[in-house]
Structure 1
Amino acid sequence: MNKKIVIIGLGITGISCVNFFLKKGLIPSIIDENFNLNFIKKIPSYVPIHLGSLNKEWILNANLIILSPGISIFHPLLLKAKKKGIEIIGDIELFSRYNKIPVIAITGTNGKSTVVNMLSQIMKKNNFNISIGGNIGYPVLDLLSIKRDFYILEISSFQLETIKKFNVYIALILNISQDHMDRYPLGIKQYRDFKLKIYNNASFCIYNIENKLCYPKFFHKEKKYITFGKVNGQYKLFFDKNMIYLKINNKKILNFSKTKLIGIHNYLNFLAVLAITDILKIPRKISLKKINNYKNMDHILQIIHKENGITWINDSKSTNINSTIVALKYLYKKKKIWLLLGGYDKNCELHLLKQYLKNKNNIIIYCFGISSKKILSLFTKSIRVKTMCEAIKKIIKLVKYGDTVLLSPACSSIDQFKNFKHRGKEFIQLVKKIYQK
């Protein structure tokens, strides 16, 4: 096999691709637009590397291009390569061509990590031997050397851009709303089209029936379709006075109000999880028992401190408008909310947040980061600061008993932080320092 293989992007995914080919006796060439890369130390000296730009000659003379998720397929040079007939795939597609183990693939704008976490806990409790990978956990190619009953993969739209025949046993789309609009020149329709590719080679397709963007474009006789939703679908919620139940076939089987789950969005997440565990024939008593004690993951509506009647909540995982609206809906009864917004907005329509906040006088906005100017233009009464730290220092002087301080930025963290986890940890540390004085 004398293929000219080019790997573009030398992050964790890129390294896994390099190792994959080297094990097969193939030497790929590596391109990365950055210069300062810690990963170079992990690459053997005989592997060709080009840094600082996309190498036009290498790309246009390749037989196969492996693209890391962070690199857009709409780059002019890649479009030229595609037009020339050069195959461009990502690690997910490469993995699928060699994988023999059933895959449960989960995507959606919000809730992916939570659902993967819920599902993995229930499957482990039922003695399934599983591994988690994709957008969370291991790079998928590293999973090929680990024999399991199932792989659970969290899949982003970026990863779905380059799939062709990604074989999946169960495919789930939780929801679709605006995100990564900077990546998709044709807007949400294009974003949705990539998300829907997860259904292409799936045996079971599970989707949110109340989010029309999640609907498969075509329904095939050989596939099985399962739906969930707030008030519609095979798996749905039932509202009775102040109680919310899980209802299947008109039978109430769980009182969500007595679980540790926070928010209706998490109840919907569990409906999707139960649809999967039912396919796997896991006894419902195991799923229900596990979910009764399930706690939110870090950085998702995480209560980090309570003192003097003031509650501090870290929702740093909210990197888009819809997830911030979910957080505010959960806290709607609170006396006063000091909302920290900002970061890189990914060209999403922040004005959609304005529609939700209309006439809500109990919410005070502090904005920071690249998007702060745009936020200030939408919310003229908001307070613009340079950093999250500056916002916290100002807020601490004004908060009163019964107030809530919420970090739910509606934006990506990449302008001032490494990622949402880094932003959340910084928030926690800043709050701890204040109360330790």
Structure 2
Amino acid sequence: MNHLAQAEKVVVVGLGVTGLSVVNYLQRQASPPAIQVIDTRAHPPGEEKLPAGVSLSAGQWQMDWLLAADLIVANPGIALSTPELQTAIAAGIPVVGDIELFAQAVDQPVVAITGSNGKSTVTSLVGEMAAEAGIKAGVGGNIGLAALDMLDQGNALYVLELSSFQLETTASLELVAAAYLNLSEDHMDRYNSLADYGQAKQRIYRHARLAISNRDDAATLPDPAWTGKQTSFGFDDQDYGLIEHQGEEYLAVNGMPVMPSRDIALVGRHNVANSLAALALADAAGIDRDAACRTLRRYTGLPHRCQRVVQAHGVDWVNDSKATNLASTLAALSGLSIPGKLHLLVGGDSKGADFSQLKPVLETLNVQLYCFGRDGHRFLGLSNAPVVVETLDQAMALAASDATSGDMVLLSPACASLDQYPNFMARGDAFAELAHSLKDQVQGAQAC
């Protein structure tokens, strides 16, 4: 149902980049509705950019606004279980998100990606594949541009990263293909269980022509009642997988070789899986296979994801600030081999996660653990003699004083950043800046 077509009064809950994109989209309608914005922050980001005539209630809920609305558009950061939204829903007022508005307006093919980890890499990779093939694609959603801001820009394809939060308020998004990459514990402060979190992600398959799942993660398989087309990716020789060909490992489709896995520019075994998922999406979207492979050979990844920011005096400083949950950090550590010691920086907002799975991995490494931030204490007991400090700056200073040639200082915090930073990008930028200032303080630096 196109709720917007019948709405004379719309309340947007939550401002910021997404909220502003919704307001601007509503104002672009042929017959714009009356728009009111509610944000419980006293000074919400973007308030100075609100168009004239849009009312803002900051610092508190306005239940009279909600209950008088024809439609509520909620920011994905606000759970549907919020009592104020539940009161409105009980009163029969529809609550949707910006992706649902996008779904009702888009007139070109869309592919979408969800998962606990890797979705930003796969989304960006498919966007790069499209560009390499000469296809103008809008790439955004949960990363980059807000979905509504990409409309009416002449795009022939849309590639969306979708979080579980966005999928909660999306009901009618039709997709050429939907990829569900993996499921691991995250956002346990918002969901009742891992299964509850996984079901939110399953919503991506609802109106997809092709469901792309991970053969190595049963949680990503479509519901048994699914009747649409499906394919999968994984580390065996089925569908999008791996085979032995000419004496080496190749990416393959239905058992036919595509390219050597060693040619992938992205580093890490998890990125082999990401590359297979991207190939499946590219094929579904009609992206030329040769262009897709050229992209795999050159695309080195996103900032803040296993990104070496400094290499000096034999010490690597690596920014993996995008590792905001346990599985991301486990992926960064998988197969890691360095000649010296690993100085691992962890901590921040744990989102209620259990980090015990790190212990057996850390036991295989020569590692010094530095725990910082609000939930740094939750990493105690995972390795010998962990260091607990207040801030990332303090952790990095201590790592610099102990590091020597052959070592790596790795920020892979397994936590969100919001206890001390606006977002993981700001945390990663802070790491990179401080790494440059500390690089000459490592042991033996003066002798190098």
- TM > 0.5: yes
Which of 181, 192, 196 is the aligned partner of 1:174? Answer: 181
1:391-406 pair list within 5 angstroms: 391-406=395-410
Which of 218, 223, 229 is the aligned partner of 2:224? Answer: 218
AA paired with 2:409? V
How big is the shift at 1:232? Answer: 5.5
Given the superposition, is the C-alpha separation of residues 187 and 241 from structure 1 closer, same or farther in structure 2, using an over 3 Å criterion?
A: farther
1:56-95 pair list within 5 angstroms: 56-95=63-102
Task: Provide the C-alpha distance between the structure 1 equivalents of 2:340 and 2:384, rounded to a whole number of angstroms.
Answer: 21
Task: Provide the C-alpha distance between the structure 1 equivalents of 2:436 and 2:16, rounded to a whole number of angstroms.
Answer: 33
How big is the shift at 1:2? Answer: 5.9
1:296 matches 2:301: yes
How big is the shift at 1:352? Answer: 2.4
- Determine if contact 1:210/1:232 at 8 Å carries over to the other structure: no
Task: Provide the C-alpha distance between the structure 1 equivalents of 2:263 and 2:103, rounded to a whole number of angstroms.
Answer: 41
Which of 14, 19, 27 is the aligned partner of 1:9? Answer: 14
Which of 131, 137, 156 is the aligned partner of 1:130? Answer: 137
Task: Provide the C-alpha distance between the structure 1 equivalents of 2:99 and 2:436, rounded to a whole number of angstroms.
Answer: 40
Structure 2 partner of 1:250: 255
Q: Deviations over 1:220-246 (max 9, x none)?
A: 44x210110122541112468995421
Structure 2 partner of 1:206: 212
Task: Provide the C-alpha distance between the structure 1 equivalents of 2:84 and 2:224, rounded to a whole number of angstroms.
Answer: 32
Which of 426, 429, 432 is the aligned partner of 1:422? Answer: 426
1:353-368 pair list within 5 angstroms: 353-357=358-362, 359-360=363-364, 362-368=366-372
How big is the shift at 1:143? Answer: 1.9
Given the superposition, is the C-alpha separation of residues 332 and 147 from structure 1 closer, same or farther in structure 2, using an over 3 Å criterion?
A: same
Structure 1 partner of 2:353: 348
Which of 432, 435, 438 is the aligned partner of 1:431? Answer: 435
Task: Provide the C-alpha distance between the structure 2 equivalents of 1:80 and 1:232, rounded to a whole number of angstroms.
Answer: 51
Determine helix, strand or coil for the equivalent of 2:144.
Answer: coil
Structure 1 partner of 2:380: 376
Structure 2 partner of 1:310: 315
How big is the shift at 1:98? Answer: 1.7
How big is the shift at 1:340? Answer: 0.3
Q: Which runs of 5+ in 1 are unaligned?
A: none
Determine helix, strand or coil for the equivalent of 1:117.
Answer: helix
How big is the shift at 1:147? Answer: 2.5
More displaced 10-residue stretch of structure 1: 400-409 or 1-10: 1-10
Q: Deviations over 1:6-55 (max 9, x none)?
A: 11001111111112222222111110001113422222342222111111
TM-score with structure 1 setting the length: 0.94
Task: Provide the C-alpha distance between the structure 2 equivalents of 1:303 and 1:241, rounded to a whole number of angstroms.
Answer: 33
Structure 1 partner of 2:120: 113
Q: Deviations over 1:116-152 (max 9, x none)?
A: 2211111111111211121112211122222221111
Q: Deviations over 1:363-387 (max 9, x none)?
A: 2110000111222255562100111
- Determine if contact 1:334/1:404 at 8 Å carries over to the other structure: no
Structure 2 partner of 1:336: 341
Task: Provide the C-alpha distance between the structure 1 equivalents of 2:123 and 2:332, rounded to a whole number of angstroms.
Answer: 20
Task: Provide the C-alpha distance between the structure 1 equivalents of 2:201 and 2:277, rounded to a whole number of angstroms.
Answer: 17
- Determine if contact 1:171/1:206 at 8 Å carries over to the other structure: yes
Q: Deviations over 1:320-371 (max 9, x none)?
A: 00110111113145532110001101111222223433x3351211000011
How big is the shift at 1:281? Answer: 3.9
- Determine if contact 2:18/2:75 at 8 Å carries over to the other structure: yes
Q: Which runs of 5+ in 2 are unaligned?
A: 1-5, 442-448
Query: Number of matched residues?
Result: 434
Determine helix, strand or coil for the equivalent of 2:23.
Answer: helix
Determine helix, strand or coil for the equivalent of 1:165.
Answer: coil
More displaced 10-residue stretch of structure 1: 106-115 or 286-295: 286-295
Task: Provide the C-alpha distance between the structure 1 equivalents of 2:317 and 2:440, rounded to a whole number of angstroms.
Answer: 15
Given the superposition, is the C-alpha separation of residues 243 and 313 from structure 1 closer, same or farther in structure 2, using an over 3 Å criterion?
A: farther
- Determine if contact 1:209/1:232 at 8 Å carries over to the other structure: no
Structure 1 partner of 2:165: 158
- Determine if contact 2:73/2:98 at 8 Å carries over to the other structure: yes
Task: Provide the C-alpha distance between the structure 2 equivalents of 1:332 and 1:218, rounded to a whole number of angstroms.
Answer: 41
Structure 1 partner of 2:445: none
Identity percentage of aligned residues:
36
1:240-279 pair list within 5 angstroms: 244-279=249-284
Task: Provide the C-alpha distance between the structure 2 equivalents of 1:308 and 1:38, rounded to a whole number of angstroms.
Answer: 41
Determine helix, strand or coil for the equivalent of 1:351.
Answer: coil
State the Cα RMSD in Å. Answer: 2.0
Determine helix, strand or coil for the equivalent of 2:143.
Answer: coil
